[in-house]
Structure 1
Amino acid sequence: MAKSYLEIVETARSKMKGVPKPSPVVPASPFIGKPASRWMEEAAQSPVPKMLFDQFWFEGELCVLYASTNTGKSILAFQIGVYIASGMPNTYWAMSAGKQTVLYFDFELSPRQFTKRYSEVENDRYVHLYKFPEFLRRYELGEVDLPEEVSLVDYYIEGIRKEVQQTGAKVVIIDNITWLNHRLEKASDAGGFMQKLNKLKREEELSILLIAHTPKRDATQPITINDLAGSAQLMNFMDSAFAIGCSTQDPQLRYIKQIKVRECEKVYGEDNVIICMLEKVGNFLQFTFQDYGSEREHLRDFSENDKAQRDADILELYEALKSYRKVGEQLGVSHQTVKRVVDRAKTESETRGSTDDDEDPPW
């Protein structure tokens, strides 16, 4: 007679009684330990990283360039790519890495917009197209054929890896990271995204420049790490970072500022930013060097009207977000400033309410 399912289970359980459970498999240690002197001896055999873009970006670095919308960060990034791919000598930007292949992943511009930047217009036609170096390859996003089991970020990163392996390139510029991960404001997503990029950098021995946006910021204050969207997680993974600011002296004037460095001392800090003019020279839209100067000279003065508008923006946004830090990140001010404005508004409201209570009734 065939046993029932319950009888089979009970038989199996009785046989398992007294049998010791297998010990859990402990993975090997994730750490690599060597005497400190050996680390130095081995590292000393590697070549000293060379400059890809002056003191801002060195070989082997994961670097970020960030700025507000319409500041010209994509223009500067592509200009850097042209310089590296052509190996052309430059009077103002120190670039010692030499000519090499550059892969520029452009998720911002359409072919027409791109052509407009690097040509001239005559009789409603684009003419005198700029002749780019053959070592510069530009990519746009094609049709996405995403397998169900693969995340969008993994799909993009592995696509970049494939192009790197096919071309042998070691320099990659990604414009911009919002396209690769639309949820970088969340710390967990930003951290995972940066880990994958760093893994790609190490495995393929790449130098990567990321282009990123800044949230709305206070134009009266110097640019800081906190102005990078998702700054807390993103900046921790960066080897270097630099930013572009708009000058109040002229609508087309820009300044470039170092934010984070590892390979060198900070040369272009707030007391020595690079001043440039954003202009089209013939058929090439570019940053042209003007001078060096102090960042403070290019910031907007903070008037009483500005302060009143800032405080109104803080109170409006705080009503929606209920978070000092989130409001501060979006408006480019410290969370302490947000708290002071909110507390002052509450105190004033309570004072008005108390005064109203003391007034005589109107009848």
Structure 2
Amino acid sequence: MPASYYEPLEGSERPAIINQIRDEIRRGTKRLRKHGLDPTVYADPSRSQLLLIKTGDEWMRQQRNKPAPRRLFGDFWFEHELCIMFADTNLGKSVLAVQIGSSLALHTAVGPFANELTQPARVLYVDFELTAKQFEQRYQHPVAGSRHFGHTFYRAELNPRADNPAFYDDRNAYILSALEGAITRTNAGVLIIDNLTCIRSSTERAADALPLMQQLKALKTTYKLSILALAHTPKRNTAKPITVNDLQGSKMLINFADSAFAIGQSQRDPSKRYLKQIKQRSAQQQYGEQNVCTGHLVKELNNLKYMFDGHSTEDEHLQKRTRALQQQQAQELHRQGHGYRHISRVLGISTGTVSKLLAGHTG
């Protein structure tokens, strides 16, 4: 560094480096105050050091006597996990999410899937999908009246009057701030978000998906939350098993999730649904391709819910591949504006076969 850097600036008694240090301190203090902190935070390494370092043995000793995560929805979702549930439109994602949330608030289980909590949970269900009236109609019966969800099941929806650009510079940050406020007001331990695309308008690029998942992970850690986030699937080939590639958006979503599961629709019986584990960290896979959980939607008086009735292989619910089916799917994707490479990827065939299918060849 040149000697002049340590010499006073013209008209100043301080060297340039001292002024730079003072500026950095002022900026740091201002940043801390913005987040309700003061410089004493630096005296606590557990709050100020970004990387916590211990030996493998020390980590093992530290965690040895801590309880294992408890099941919230069987082996699909565990306590303190950020879990993604995804499915195509109109397969009942929201119905299952409400059913899971209500079961946790009522201290019951959904069908055969264990809830290992020892007391009712405080659940915040953030509903970006239904209006209040649509929600009420789902759980209302002219004779039985309204369904009971539990006194600690809270539902939140967007207030259109407050969704005003005058209140924010960044809408995504505004929604996340409102989400954090709702968590603190309800003292929620379980957060269900229906759905991810409403928090951030685009999740297709890693640059958009990564900040979203980091923010959700930060909320999870700060408030010791268990988070279930709902997401969509794009147009998929129903002759192929559901995989991580069927989650709409960047792979950053699934990479940063602790667990994920999908709802599929049987192509043999459109009224039948199945659940399949896609990613898991807290337990071994129980419900993979060879052992999916089957069920269907029912409305019992004021209770719209899933009834689970058994297990099967996923193959039993997939559409059988035929040349005519492939041609139909290729033509539909082409009408939607997709190119040969995209169609090839979705259908699992070569671009040459796509070309023949679109040309009407049966060869």
TM superposition score category, shorter chain reference = 0.7 to 0.9
Q: Which of 117, 123, 130 pairs up with 1:109?
A: 130
User: Aligned residue for 2:31?
Assistant: none
1:132 equivalent in alignment to 2:149: yes
| TM-score normalised over the length of structure 2 | 0.80
Deviations 1:240-289 (A, max 9, x none): 00000111232321001100000000000011111001111121111001
Q: Which of 247, 257, 276 pairs up with 2:266?
A: 247
Opposite residue 75 of structure 2, the aligned amino acid is Q
Residue 304 to residue 344, structure 1, CA distance change in 2 (3 Å): closer
- Which structure 2 residues correspond to residues 44-193 of structure 1 after superposition, within 5 A? 44-89=64-109, 92-98=112-118, 99-121=120-142, 128-142=145-159, 143=161, 144-146=163-165, 150-193=169-212
Q: Using the TM superposition, name which of 289-298 and 306-315 deviates more.
A: 306-315
Distance 2:9 2:110 in 1: 79
Does the CA-based 8 Å contact 2:99-2:110 persist in structure 1?
Answer: no
Deviations 1:73-102 (A, max 9, x none): 110011000110000255511111242110
Identity across the alignment (%): 35
Residue 258 of structure 1 aligns to a residue whose secondary structure is strand
Residue 120 to residue 149, structure 1, CA distance change in 2 (3 Å): closer
User: Aligned residue for 1:291?
Assistant: 310
User: Aligned residue for 1:206?
Assistant: 225
Residue 187 to residue 231, structure 1, CA distance change in 2 (3 Å): closer
**Aligned-pair CA distance for 1:207:** 0.7
**Aligned-pair CA distance for 1:171:** 0.3
**Aligned-pair CA distance for 1:333:** 3.9
Residue 66 to residue 338, structure 1, CA distance change in 2 (3 Å): farther
Does the CA-based 8 Å contact 1:59-1:207 persist in structure 2?
Answer: yes
Residue 110 to residue 92, structure 1, CA distance change in 2 (3 Å): same
**Aligned-pair CA distance for 1:68:** 0.2
Residue 279 to residue 20, structure 1, CA distance change in 2 (3 Å): closer
User: Aligned residue for 1:37?
Assistant: 57
The structure with the largest alpha-carbon Rg is: 1
**Aligned-pair CA distance for 1:310:** 2.5
Deviations 1:304-327 (A, max 9, x none): 21111233345556xx56583x55
**Aligned-pair CA distance for 1:162:** 1.2
Does the CA-based 8 Å contact 1:55-1:267 persist in structure 2?
Answer: yes
Residue 66 of structure 2 aligns to a residue whose secondary structure is coil
| TM-score normalised over the length of structure 1 | 0.80
Distance 2:315 2:205 in 1: 32
Does the CA-based 8 Å contact 1:314-1:338 persist in structure 2?
Answer: no
Residue 204 to residue 328, structure 1, CA distance change in 2 (3 Å): farther
Residue 146 of structure 2 aligns to a residue whose secondary structure is coil
1:257 equivalent in alignment to 2:279: no
Opposite residue 84 of structure 2, the aligned amino acid is V
Opposite residue 283 of structure 1, the aligned amino acid is N
Distance 1:30 1:218 in 2: 43
Does the CA-based 8 Å contact 1:62-1:198 persist in structure 2?
Answer: yes
- Which structure 2 residues correspond to residues 317-328 of structure 1 after superposition, within 5 A? 320=337, 324=341
**Aligned-pair CA distance for 1:110:** 1.1
Q: Which runs of 5+ in 2 are unaligned?
A: 1-7, 29-47
- Which structure 2 residues correspond to residues 279-318 of structure 1 after superposition, within 5 A? 279-315=298-334
**Aligned-pair CA distance for 1:303:** 2.1
**Aligned-pair CA distance for 1:32:** 2.3
Opposite residue 220 of structure 2, the aligned amino acid is K
Residue 88 of structure 1 aligns to a residue whose secondary structure is coil
User: Aligned residue for 1:224?
Assistant: 243
Residue 205 to residue 306, structure 1, CA distance change in 2 (3 Å): same
Opposite residue 39 of structure 1, the aligned amino acid is W
Residue 86 to residue 344, structure 1, CA distance change in 2 (3 Å): same
Aligned pair count? 324
Does the CA-based 8 Å contact 2:87-2:232 persist in structure 1?
Answer: yes
Opposite residue 138 of structure 1, the aligned amino acid is R
Q: Which runs of 5+ in 1 are unaligned?
A: 1-11, 350-363
Residue 171 to residue 13, structure 1, CA distance change in 2 (3 Å): closer
Opposite residue 71 of structure 2, the aligned amino acid is M
Distance 2:340 2:217 in 1: 31
Distance 1:97 1:150 in 2: 40
Q: Using the TM superposition, name which of 236-245 and 224-233 deviates more.
A: 224-233
